[in-house]
Amino acid sequence: MLGVPGEKDALARTAKLLVDLGQGGDAKAPGQGDVEALLERSATAWGPVKLVPCAARIEGYEVRWPVEPGALGRHEARWMGG
C-alpha cells in the first residue's frame, strides 16, 4: 500500500540512525556503566563471545536460542516443526 511504511522502511530508518550516530555514539545518551555482569558468555565455532541475553521473561520458559551460533549451512534444511 502506498504511503504505509513497511519493514524495509523501518530497517532503512534504523540504519540511517546508526550511521548518523557515527562511531562516537550519542553524546546525550545516559552512560552505560559496567555492563559485564549483565552479559552472558557462550562458546561458538568462532571462539568465545559475550552476548546480551533476552530481556523478556516468560514464566516457566527459558527464553533463549536452542543452539549456539555457528557457521551457515551446518544444519540440514527443513521446515520448522518437521
In a domain, 14, yes or no: no
pLDDT of 9-65, one tens digit each? 888 888 888 888 777 777 777 777 788 888 989 888 889 989 888 888 889 988 877
Q: How many structural domains are present in the chain?
A: 1
Q: Which residue range is the domain that position 60 belongs to?
A: 38-66
Predicted TM-score (pTM) above 0.85: no
pLDDT at 4: 59
Q: Determine, yes or no, domain membership for 75.
A: no
In this predicted structure, the answer to whether residue 5 has a pLDDT above a threshold of 70 is no
Instruction: Give 66 or 52, the one with higher predicted confidence.
Output: 52
Distance between CA atoms of 1 and 22, rounded to whole angstroms?
Answer: 33
pLDDT at 48: 92
| Strand-strand pairing, 47-51 and 40-44 | antiparallel
Confirm whether 56 is domain-assigned.
yes
Asked whether residue 55 is assigned to any structural domain, the reply reads yes
SS3 61: strand
The C-alpha cell 530497517 sits at 11
Domain assignment present for 74: no
- Cβ partners under 8 Å of residue 75, min gap 6: 67
Q: How far is CA 82 from CA 4, 63, 64, 77, in A?
A: 35, 21, 20, 11
Asked whether residue 43 is domain-assigned, the answer is yes
